[in-house]
Amino acid sequence: MIDLHGFGDQLLQGAVVTLELALSSLFVGLILGLLGASAKLSSIAVIRWIANGYTTIIRGIPELLTVLIIYFGATSVLMAIAGLFGYDEYIEVGAFAAGVTALGLTFGAYATEVFRGALQSIPKGQHEAAIALGMGPIRKFYRIILPQVWRIALPGLGNLFLVLLKDTALVSVVGLDDIMRKANIAVSSTKQAFLFYLVAAFMYLALTIISMVFVSYMEKRASRGLNRG
Amino acid sequence: MDFSVVVEYFPRLLEGAWVSLQLVLISIVLGGIFALPIALARISPVAWIRAIPFAYIFFFRGTPLLVQIFLVYYGASQFDAVRESFLWPILREPYWCAIIAFTLNTSAYTAEIFRGAIQAIPQGEVEACKVIGMTKFQMYRRVLLPRAFGIVLPAYGNEIILMLKGSALASTITILDLTGMARTIIARTYTPMEIFLAAGAIYLVISIVIIAIFRQIELRQNRYLGTLSIKVPDKG
């Protein structure tokens, strides 16, 4: 067995943090993605410009830079806003909150494109049929559009989640106690860099494999309405 | 916000951008060279030859680039054998460690792109080559690889942009690339928003230039098709 010098449970705690970060960012990102896709398909030009600006900027700059901008920038922005209301105390944005914001924004920008493609692939007849049955826009979206969009978007979203899972490692740079930072701590006390970074790598691989299995289960579930024979 | 600090330090940021570009260019060229044999082995009819590149690609695509950089830069020095070998002058330098890690990483992604392209060529073209009596080497050199090159271009352009964004991680091992330079300047001036936003803008400009260049190459390479398929990069 590999000797982890007692850092095994530390690394597992890191894995829990990594997973929490990934799932929280996924939640934020999915909402941003749906909003972004709706905005890109909006009939109002200004809303389309905003959505295009958002996806172009986020996709064109490195994720590490996004994390750093949010982590260091959010503090000054929040303090400036609070200052307007006469609040002068120091506000600190935690690494976790900054990580969820940055990774959620990144995931949302890519998910916007996935959702937009899926929304556009729903035939017009489906919309018309829903309206003919007397459904309002919200009910039409929940009952008719969303279940189909979900099925079409899932493979793309699954890939994005795997990328997100790996991007969580970047938040260790601003001090979040995830797998990567736990490995850094273990390395600085044991000097066995190769061992601990390799263990960290295999933990990410394990999380990747689990996610892949889960996504393929979800894909089967989402398309259970098809091919029923 | 006070953007005069950006004007003052802009030349330093450009220096950093130049380092980032070097890292990307060298890694992309080396990665492309390694990717071809990996891709060809990946589609081999022999199962155990297929297994090796599969494991390689799975490892490098399934783990964060940050882990890979740390494995090369900090990991290699764990072993006395490495420290005493002739490779040590290279593995001691963060610059070369970043290039090694980026090359390994991008070669795994590029190999998958190449494999997809080779497999996307219609079976009829392979059969036509055989009928004409080409050897396997001639078939690859004259038909399959040039065809694959045209198919590969959009995805390859995306991979270069992903590599550009990944190159920001070089700053974590003390390299003064664009991100590293920005962090150094911020440590001196304490103006994180202004400098980071300026760095982000430079990355954005570089991405846009890369997209434009690839659009031109693709127009040329696929001009017989009369269509254009390059898009803004997707992840994956």
Q: Is residue B110 part of a domain?
A: yes
What is the rounded distance in angstroms from the CA atom of residue B211 to the CA atom of residue B157? 7
Q: How many CB atoms lie within 10 A of CB B137?
A: 8
Would you say residue B171 lies in a domain? Answer: yes
- Could you read off the pLDDT of A27-53 as tens digits, one per residue? 999 999 999 999 999 999 999 999 999
User: Is A68 at the interface with chain B, CB within 8 A?
Assistant: yes
**Residue range B136-147: mean pLDDT, rounded:** 86
Whether chain A has a CB inside 8 Å of the CB on B192: the answer is: yes
Pairwise CB contact (< 8 Å): B169 & A187: no
Instruction: Output the pLDDT for position B30.
Output: 96
Query: What stretch of H or E contains A67?
Result: helix A63-84
Distance CA B77, CA B140 (A): 41
Rounded Cα distance, B34 and B38, in Å: 7
Structure confidence at residue B233 (pLDDT): 53
Q: Tell me whether residue A1 is in a domain.
A: no
**Residues near B177 by beta carbon (within 8 Å), at least 6 away in sequence:** B16, B17, B19, B20, B23, B167, B168, B170, B171
For residue A6, tell me if it sits in a domain: no
Residue pLDDT, tens place only, B58-109? 999 999 999 999 999 999 888 877 788 877 888 888 999 999 999 999 999 9
Q: Which of A62, A159, A160 sits opposite B165 (nearest CB)?
A: A62
Structural contact between residues B201 and A65, judged by C-beta atoms closer than 8 angstroms: no
Residue A107 domain-assigned (yes or no)? yes
Return all residues near A169 (Cβ < 8 A) that are at least 6 apart.
Answer: A18, A178, A179, A180, A204, B64, B66, B67
* B196:A187 CB<8 A: no
Interface touch A62/B232, C-beta < 8 Å: no
The answer to whether B190 faces chain A, any CB pair under 8 Å, is: no
pLDDT top residue among B150 and B7 = B7
**Please, what is the average pLDDT of chain B?**
88
Residue of higher predicted confidence among B189 and A93: B189
H helices of chain B, in order, are 4-42, 47-62, 65-70, 80-84, 88-91, 94-120, 123-132, 136-138, 145-166, 178-189, 192-221
B-chain residues near A200 (CB < 8 A):
67
Q: Which residues of B touch A167 (CB under 8 A)?
A: 64
**Under-50 pLDDT residues of chain A:** 229
A108 is a domain residue = yes
User: Looking at per-residue confidence, does B25 or B126 come out higher?
Assistant: B25
Say how many domains are in chain A.
Answer: 1
Nearest Cα residue in chain B from A106: B235
Q: How far apart are CA B12 and CA A127, in angstroms?
A: 55
Distance of CA A51 to the CA centre of its chain: 17
Could you tell me if B19 and B168 are in contact, meaning their C-beta atoms sit under 8 angstroms apart? Answer: no
Phi, psi of B227 (to 5 degrees): -130, 170
Is A10 among the domain residues? no
Q: Token digits for A98?
A: 């900054």
Residue A125 lies in a domain: yes
Q: How far is A34 from chain B (nearest CA, A)?
A: 17
Triad A55, B165, B167: Cα angle to 5°:
170
Question: The complex's ipTM?
Answer: 0.88
Task: Note whether B193 contacts A73, CB cutoff 8 Å.
Answer: yes
- Give contacts of B 57-76 with A, CB under 8 A: 58-59, 62-68, 70-71, 74-76
* Cβ of residue A154 closer than 8 Å to a chain B Cβ: no
Predicted local confidence at residue B225, as pLDDT: 65
Domain count, chain B: 1
pLDDT at A229: 46
Decide if A213 touches B, using CB distance below 8 A.
no
Residue type, A4: L
- Of A97, A219, A109, the residue nearest A164 (C-alpha): A109
**What is the reported pLDDT for B227?**
53
In this structure, is residue B236 part of a structural domain? no
Which conformational region is residue A140 in: left (phi greater than 0), alpha (psi within -120 to 50 degrees), or beta?
alpha
Q: What is the token pair recorded at A199?
A: 């263990």
**Is the Cβ of A109 closer than 8 Å to some Cβ of chain B?**
no
Q: What is the mean pLDDT of the segment spanning B138-149?
A: 85
Residue A5 located in a structural domain: no
> Does residue B233 sit within a domain?
no
Q: Are B153 and B75 in contact (CB under 8 A)?
A: no
Give contacts of A18 with chain B, Cβ < 8 Å. Answer: none
CATH number at residue A151: 1.10.3720.10
Does the model's pTM come out above 0.95?
no
CB contact under 8 A, A204 and B203: no
- Residue located via tokens 């090359």: B103
Structural domain boundaries, residue A74: 17-176
Give yes or no for residue B228 having a pLDDT over 60: no
The domain that holds B95 is classified in CATH as 1.10.3720.10
Instruction: Closest CB to B179: pick one of A56, A62, A208.
Output: A62
In a domain, B156, yes or no: yes
CA distances from A69 to A79, A98, B13, B198, B207 (A): 15, 9, 16, 11, 19
Q: Is residue A162 part of a domain?
A: yes
Neighbours of A195 (CB within 10 A): 20
Query: Whole domain around residue B217: which residue ranges?
Result: 4-221
Please write down the long-range contacts of A120-128, taking CB distance under 8 Å and 24 or more positions apart: A120/A41, A121/A152, A122/A148, A122/A149
State how far the Cα of A21 lies from the Cα of A180, in Å rounded to an integer.
13
Look at residue B43 and tell me whether its pLDDT is greater than 80. Answer: yes
**Tokens 């081999």 appear where?**
B44
Neighbour count for residue B89 (Cβ, 10 Å)? 9
Give the burial string for B67-86 (b: 16+ CB within 10 Å, else e).
Answer: bbbbbbbbbbbbeeeeeeee
